[in-house]
Amino acid sequence: MSTTPQELKDRIEAGIPGARAQVTGDGRHFNAIVSAPAFRGISRIAQHRLVYDVFGSEVGDRIHALSIQTKPSEEP
Amino acid sequence: MTEQTTNPIREAIKGAIDENPVLLFMKGTPEAPGCGFSARVAAILESLDQPFAAVDVLPDPRIRQELSALSNWPTIPQLFIDGDLVGGCDIVSEMYQSGELQQALGIDGSPGEPEPEPEAVQSPPLTIENRL
């Protein structure tokens, strides 16, 4: 039950309004660079939580490791 | 999720977070980390000469489950400063590079400043496993 960077990208972009994601990975370890308007004015930890929340308990399990970089973006 | 009235693991985790100003939940130990992300955060703290307590989550999967439920953070490592979750490897690395971590630790610009927690080496959280 492996997953792909494309699946993660699609789910992040679907799960966070206005988000743009670049995801790379090998099926278990992933790197995501995410920008979204929702990140503006909230702490870095809150930004990362928004991304983790898209995947719930899959992080640490099916998605073994998800490394995240977040950037607030302008309104689309 | 209803909280059990007695949940010794969660209580031990809460106690450890309250008692240790700088506390790292990690896989393995600072001397023998069990994962590259945990190793990186431990190495960052060590490079700053920052005393810290560490809890190995590997001996019992329930430590990790309870920690994540408590902190609302899914992954390990997790660094707590003064009772607050600062982040995992990504955030800690970013904050270290920008100097925000040093600021949060109160070691910004004065590397010789003594930290008031010398007994961090004798970390009580390591007894979590023994209480089971």
Which pLDDT value is given to residue B122?
46
Q: Which residues pair with A69 in a beta bridge?
A: A33
Read off the tokens for B57.
């989550």
User: Quick check: is B54 in a domain?
Assistant: yes
User: Quick check: is B40 in a domain?
Assistant: yes
Q: How far is it, in rounded angstroms, from Cα A57 to Cα A25?
A: 19
Which residues in B lie closer than 8 A to residue A46 (C-beta atoms)? Answer: none
Q: How far is it, in rounded angstroms, from Cα A25 to Cα B79?
A: 25
Q: How far is it, in rounded angstroms, from Cα A50 to Cα A39?
A: 9
Contact at 8 Å (CB) between A4 and A27? Answer: yes
CATH number at residue B100: 3.40.30.10
Element (H, E) at B80: strand B78-81
Residue B34 domain boundaries: 8-108
Q: List the alpha helices (DSSP H) in chain B.
A: 8-19, 36-47, 61-71, 89-98, 100-104
Which residues in A lie closer than 8 A to residue B68 (C-beta atoms)? Answer: 60
Total of domains in chain B: 1
User: Quick check: is B53 in a domain?
Assistant: yes
CB within 8 Å: A59 and B72: no
CATH number at residue A38: 3.30.300.90
pLDDT category at A2 given cuts 50, 70, 90 is: confident
Question: What are B61-111's pLDDT values in tens digits?
Answer: 999 999 999 999 999 999 999 999 999 999 999 999 999 999 999 986 544
Read off the tokens for B52.
């810290």
User: Quick check: is B132 in a domain?
Assistant: no
CB within 8 Å: A44 and B72: no
Question: What are A10-38's pLDDT values in tens digits?
Answer: 999 999 999 999 999 998 899 999 999 99
Residue A9 domain boundaries: 5-72
Q: How far is it, in rounded angstroms, from Cα B72 to Cα B43?
A: 24
Scanning the structure block, which residue is given the tokens 């990186």?
A: B40
pTM, two decimal places: 0.82
- Half-sphere exposure of residue B53: CA atoms within 13 angstroms, side-chain side: 25
Residue from the list B72, B76, B95 with its beta carbon closest to the beta carbon of A49: B72
- The type of residue at A40 is R
Total of domains in chain A: 1
User: Quick check: is B92 in a domain?
Assistant: yes
Which residues in A lie closer than 8 A to residue B73 (C-beta atoms)? Answer: 45, 49, 52
